[in-house]
Every structure is written in structure tokens, then in C-alpha cells.
Amino acid sequence: MAELRRCTRCVLPETHETITFDAEGVCNICRQQEYKQTQIDWAAKKKELDVLIAAHRDKSDYDCIIPFSGGKDSTWTLYYLVKEYGLRPLVVRFDHGFLRPNVIENTRRTLRKLGVDFHHFTPNWKVVQKLMLQTFLEKGDFCWHCHTGIFAYPMRVALRYNVPLVIWGEPSSEYTAYYSYDQPEEVDEKRFNRFVNLGITAQDMLVRLEGAVDERDLKPFTYPPLKELRKIHYRSVCLGSYIPWDVKRQVRIIQEELGWREDQVENVPPGYGYEKIECYMQGVRDYIKFIKRGYTRPSHLASLDIRNHRMTREEAVALIQKYEGKRPPSLDLFLEYVGLSEEEFVQIALSHVVSPYEHDPLKVLPGEKLHDYDLWSRQGAMPRKEAEVQLNRWRQRNAQAGVTNGKGAP
């Protein structure tokens, strides 16, 4: 980690998306947190939320849509809106394909305790596989189907049920600077195109896959037309824009009130059993981030604790040195899902390295297998011939573009 410049207050490095440093070496994410903690009149914000909810209550079959993964943030959002306001929401889950057993049980327990309607959608796995491989090739991020589906599909459900109010959990300014706490952040198409879809629309994907999927297959990943949303006078907001977001406090409450249970995540330190427990590909996602950017989830978690005055910077540095840079066992499963060899996986990830980080594969250590690893589905491996079609097309495009692959040939 010595080669990367890091924030002098937290431990985020210069390869973190949207990060900048001021004259004191403090990053813009930390400065946003200062603003959040000292400048915002949260009592006034709460009154704004009161007015917003009052304007939408009892206007259709449901008072609002709550997008829901079953993780800590969406569970807290659902809990808070039902308990604080007595809302009748439609809870909407977009299933990304990798839900872990504990999250499924947490969901069942939460829905029964709160007594709410639940809408669950699982997209075509064959389509998901192709999308995963294509965006991993092009962006070094295989989660395009998840990013876009989670934010587009609930808006389609809002239209279908004529429910104009959609309430999400934390604002993005908790983690990045695409928005800051002094800017209004609506979860709309502008935000969707700013960073959610990685700069690739569903129409772009249709072209890039050259007929391998139907346009109708991509509808769940496509933001609905703005004119249709305007007809129902939609609002799509973050709960964290109206109440101060504090993950650890919220986790304690949903544990006590709903019996929500933590879990382990690959290469995440003890004490953070609430973080990203809903996806069994999380370890692979974090590993790719390490290859590309030279840091991973422990840096992010420790930085949050520093900003909330729960950890010193020295403790954070020791933590990330101990837990970052390990190969997750779930990588074997991912390679089966997308039909790649590990050598190809590393080459592709290296082609997306963010300067000035320089990855050294020889320093990577093996990570530990999780307790529920053997319960994860092995169904639906991508045939090698199908993967080769996309892989070869990507190589040819790079060759035509003269990409010699600075940090790894295609």
C-alpha cells in the first residue's frame, strides 16, 4: 500500500472513484461527512420527509415502493418506514442470482414480522451470464446486470402498480462524490446514467452482444421512459437524505427488532458481519477491485469507522494490511459461471488497472472458504464455446483499436 497516496484522515487511496485531496491531504469523501455531521439541520430534513410521505399516503394500492435486497440498508429502510410512519409499501427485490441462505432467511423473517407484500423478480440466467462476461471484459466489473436491474426494475414496478413514491436506503454520498450531502440526490435516470450503468446502456449491450440476446431480454435492465414516470408524478429518493445514516446503529436495531442475522464475507475482517452479506460473489467483486485499484472492502469499512470516530487511522492501516489482497475461493465458481480460465480472468482484470496502482500477482495470498460455500448453486455453468465467442470478439476489438494492454494484454 505504500506506493498509493491515501487520505491523511481515512485510508482511501487515490485510486478510489471520484476521490480528490485538499491541501491538508484530506479526501472529499471525509469532507462530505464533516458537512453531514455539522451543517445539516436533520430535524428540518425529517419534516421534509413527513410532508413527502403525507402527500403520497393512501393514493394508490401501496403508499410507496421499497427496493429490497435483504441486506442491512434495505432492511433498515423497510423497518423504519413501517414502524415510524405505518406505511403500506410494496417491497421489491431484483434477484441478482447470488442470494445467500442467511439472507433468504433474514428476508422471510423480516417480511413476516413487519407484515408487508413482497414482489420478487429473477431475470433469465442465460442472459445474466452473457451480461456478466461482457461487462467484465469491457469494464472489469461483472455486476452490470445487478447495478442496472436493481435501479431500473423497481421503477418499472412503480409504473405497473401506479405507485409514484420510491424510497431507497443510503445516499451515494456516504461512499463516493458523484453527489455530495449539500446537493439534492434523487435516484433518477440522471443518476442511473451518471455512474450506475457504468456508461453502458441496455441498447449498447444489445449491439455489443450482436444478437445473442433479444431486446425484450434487456427490459428489466432498462430505465423506464421518463415521460411515463412523469405521468404518475414520480419521486425516487434516499431515506438517508432525510435522516442521518449510521450503519452500525441501524444494524443493532434490526438485529434486536427483526432478528436480522449477520454473516461472514470473504476477506472481510471480524466485526463487519453486516456488510454485503447478500451476495456470494462479493469476494470476487472485491478481489477484482484489488487487482484494479490496489485496495478493497476493509479500506472502505475502516474509513467509515474513522469518520464516525470509532477507529484510529493506525488501527485501520493494520486492519487492511492483514485482510486485503487475498484470492477468494468463490473465484472458482465465478470462472465456471462465465467460462473463463483463471489466467484469462487475471489478464482481463489487469487490462483495467487504475493508475498509478501496479498489481503484483505474486503477492496474492489464498483466502478462506466461507461456512456456507458448499451450499451455493453450481447450476448453470457457461459452455466454453459460448464464452470464447465473447472473448474472441473482445480481443479482436482491442486489436483493431491498437490496445496493447498496458497493464495486461487481452
Please check the confidence at residue 407 and state whether its pLDDT lies above 50: no
Please check the confidence at residue 217 and state whether its pLDDT lies above 90: yes
Please check the confidence at residue 86 and state whether its pLDDT lies above 50: yes
Q: Which region among 113-117, 171-175, 313-317 has the lowest average model confidence (pLDDT)? A: 171-175
Q: Which amino acid is at 333?
A: L
The model's confidence at residue 409, banded by pLDDT at 50, 70 and 90, is very low
Please check the confidence at residue 183 and state whether its pLDDT lies above 90: no
pLDDT tens track for 107-128 = 999 999 999 999 999 999 999 9
User: Can you give the pLDDT at residue 410?
Assistant: 34
Residue 392: Cβ within 10 Å count: 11
Location of C-alpha cell 434477484: 95
Report the percentage of the chain scoring pLDDT > 90. 94
What is the pTM assigned to this prediction? 0.94
The model's confidence at residue 404, banded by pLDDT at 50, 70 and 90, is low
Q: How high does pLDDT run on average in the chain?
A: 95
Q: In what order do the strands lie in the sheet with 165-168?
A: 117-121, 89-94, 64-67, 165-168, 235-238
Report the percentage of the chain scoring pLDDT > 70. 98
Instruction: Outline where DSSP puts E strands in 315-395.
Output: 326-327, 365-366
User: Can you give the pLDDT at residue 3?
Assistant: 80
Rounded Cα distance between 348 and 340, Å, is 10
Rounded Cα distance between 264 and 283, Å, is 11
Q: What are phi and psi of 57, to 5 degrees?
A: -70, 135
pLDDT tens track for 253-289 = 999 999 999 999 999 999 999 999 999 999 999 999 9
Please check the confidence at residue 408 and state whether its pLDDT lies above 60: no
